[in-house]
Amino acid sequence: SVVEGDVEVVATLAAEVPASVAGAAATALKSSAWSALLETEKLPPIEVRAVGTYCGVGTIAGEGGCASCPANTYASVSWGRCIGCPNGATSAARSSSLDDCACEAGSGVACLPTLQPPATAEQNTTDVAVGDLSYTLNMTLTVPGTVAEVEELAERLVEAVAKFLGVNESMVGVVRVVEVGGEVRVFMTAEVPASVAEAAVAALKSSGWSAFVESEGLPPIEVVAVNTFCGAGTIAGDGGCESCPANTYASVSWGRCVDCPGGASSAARSSSLDDCACEAGSGVACLPTLQPPATAEQNTTDVAVGDLSYTLNMTLTVPGTVAEVEELAERLVEAVAKFLGVNESMVGVVRVVEVGGEVRVFMTAEVPASVAEAAVAALKSSGWSAFVESEGLPPIEVVAVNTFCGAGTIAGDGGCESCPANTYASV
């Protein structure tokens, strides 16, 4: 962060270093030596707020550092493994995307087909069924106009992308619309069969997309970025993303399908712990009902090393300005801790931002695995609204809540397990 007048500017940087000096580099950046170096370089005071290590694209975690993916494989996100290029396509070592997989000229290899968008939306009959190999496209588009004007276009954008890719509209969605650097960006996802994923990426980056947009009577829409990943409910397999079987789920890219805890059941391709439910009349001992304590002093629940846990990722909307909501941060932590019945040390505010004219608060809370499903359900229920009102807080809506394994833990059957001594998991 750099302070310019009364304004603090925060920048996020990445640097790749040899594994042998990674620990020393992180320590040095946090030391007084960094400040001394800046002074000798005649730079303004620059504070390193946080520094952590992870394995970048094209690499996977190995003993002692991040190892490059071998040729004809890739790792575009932290899947924990290098994925083989589909249909006999080839790629260089350390490839980072399905888009890096290409047919070798003259090799005779049967690679991916050319994408032919249907002429009309009625011809969009392609769907991705449970059991099919697929990929989810993550797209960033720039659209002229204000955020409000672009949000009104959302339905037409879904129709256009579905028509262009030749898939059902149910497979396409708008994640969010935000203003970045004076331009409006739209973040979208679309699930496509693995057999056309590479062709879909290429088509969205081609002049064919621009011509299609014009033919649909839409304003000029540029695809700034598009990549592939395995969406919720699926895991990476050779040649595409495989559905998680029944009674398991994958809410984030853990690289494995996690069993529903407590004997709960779920449909195949389930995407959240919240999808795990007790079967009526089965007699299965499932998860307990969450009973928040009456007072904050009763919040004695903690998550110790070795306990199975889940971290809740929460998005809340709070009335007021960013500055006003930031002043409420401490009370929000107290309220969430009290409602979930955990120590305040297990709850934190990640950031407060304005999105589309409303203030959103991103928070996390670590809870024992035994009450995680109940905690998710409670935060989505009318009980949360009543609790907030009883605490004298303004109306606070929980827009989204899901579960993941936080730093220092990995996904295990029935919850997130602590990393053993002399190991770590930063992402």
The 10s digit of each residue's pLDDT in 172-229 is 889 889 888 888 999 998 888 877 777 788 888 888 888 889 888 999 999 988 877 7
pLDDT band at 230; cut points 50, 70, 90: confident
The CA distance from 21 to 89, in Å, is 36
Q: Is the distance from CB of 309 to CB of 400 less than 8 angstroms?
A: no
Element (H, E) at 202: helix 197-204
Element (H, E) at 352: strand 347-355
Single pTM value for the model = 0.44
Inter-residue long-range contacts of 330-335, CB under 8 Å, 24+ positions, other chains counted? 331/391, 331/393, 332/361, 332/363, 332/393, 332/396, 333/363, 334/296, 335/387, 335/388, 335/391, 335/393
Least Cα distance to 189 among 213, 201, 173 occurs for 173
Section 401-422 average pLDDT: 74
The 10s digit of each residue's pLDDT in 373-387 is 778 878 887 778 888
Q: Is the distance from CB of 312 to CB of 372 less than 8 angstroms?
A: yes
The CA distance from 344 to 302, in Å, is 9
The 10s digit of each residue's pLDDT in 388-409 is 888 889 999 998 887 777 677 7
The CA distance from 15 to 32, in Å, is 20
The CA distance from 379 to 120, in Å, is 42
**Is the predicted pLDDT of residue 112 greater than 60, yes or no?**
no
Inter-residue long-range contacts of 375-381, CB under 8 Å, 24+ positions, other chains counted? 375/290, 375/312, 375/340, 376/272, 376/273, 376/274, 376/312, 376/401, 376/402, 376/403, 377/274, 377/290, 378/290, 378/292, 378/339, 378/340, 379/312, 379/314, 379/339
Longest dimension (CA), the chain: 73
How many CB atoms neighbour CB 84 within 10 A?
18
Task: Kindly state the DSSP code that residue 377 receives in the 8-state scheme.
Answer: H
Q: Which of 176-190, 235-249, 298-312, 381-395 has the lowest mean pLDDT?
A: 298-312
The CA distance from 102 to 161, in Å, is 24
- What angle (nearest 5°) sits at the alpha carbon of residue 54, between those of residues 249 and 70? 85
Both structure tokens of 15: 């640097």
